[in-house]
Amino acid sequence: MKNIYLSDKGRKQETEHLIQLIRIAFSNSIISRTERELLYRMGGRLGFSVAEVEALIERTANSDYVPPDELPERFGHAYNLIRMTLADGSMDRNEMKLVSGYMAKTGFKENEIPSLLLLLLKGIKEHKSREDLFEIYMKNNLKRKNE
């Protein structure tokens, strides 16, 4: 198995993002079959094998998150976090706190996190794409700035 902790900043961000998703899945103390399958799919999209995802599940306790610089990528991370929390059909209070904390670490302002959470929760439940939700998010931000 190749080293999943490469020095490349992009790979580090992908690794840390996957670790966040794993932590969200663990927030209720167990990773369900549905959550594990979603982790494998998301990990695959980020370039990780099933074995690498499993290794990351085992190593989740000690990692420092390096958020992406660009807003579309940060939004994508928030989108994936919400998808992970909804993988088992619901979002509990602990998951909500974790996601809010990660969103803050990612660089979203504290006052915008509740509306972003609502947008993502509703949009994902309605099967809207990440791109569509990002467009809505940007329009909403533009409206707020013009008010």
Per-domain residue ranges for the chain? 9-146
Per-residue confidence (pLDDT) for residue 4, from 0 to 100: 47
Per-residue confidence (pLDDT) for residue 147, from 0 to 100: 65
Per-residue confidence (pLDDT) for residue 44, from 0 to 100: 94
What is the chain written as a DSSP string? ---S--S-HHHHHHHHHHHHHHHHHHTTSS--HHHHHHHHHHHHHTT--HHHHHHHHHTTTS------SSHHHHHHHHHHHHHHHHTTS---HHHHHHHHHHHHHHT--TTTHHHHHHHHHHHHHTT--HHHHHHHHHHHHHHHHH-
pLDDT tens figures, 19-45: 888 888 877 667 888 988 999 999 999
Per-residue confidence (pLDDT) for residue 64, from 0 to 100: 56
| 116 contacts: CB under 8 Å, gap ≥ 6 | 78, 103, 108, 137
Per-residue confidence (pLDDT) for residue 68, from 0 to 100: 82
Q: Looking at the domain covering 9-146, what would its CATH class be? A: mainly alpha
Predicted TM-score (pTM) of this structure = 0.62
Among the listed residues 60, 68, 63, 64, the one whose alpha carbon sits nearest the alpha carbon of residue 108: 68
pLDDT under 70: residue ranges of the chain: 1-9, 28-29, 61-66, 146-147
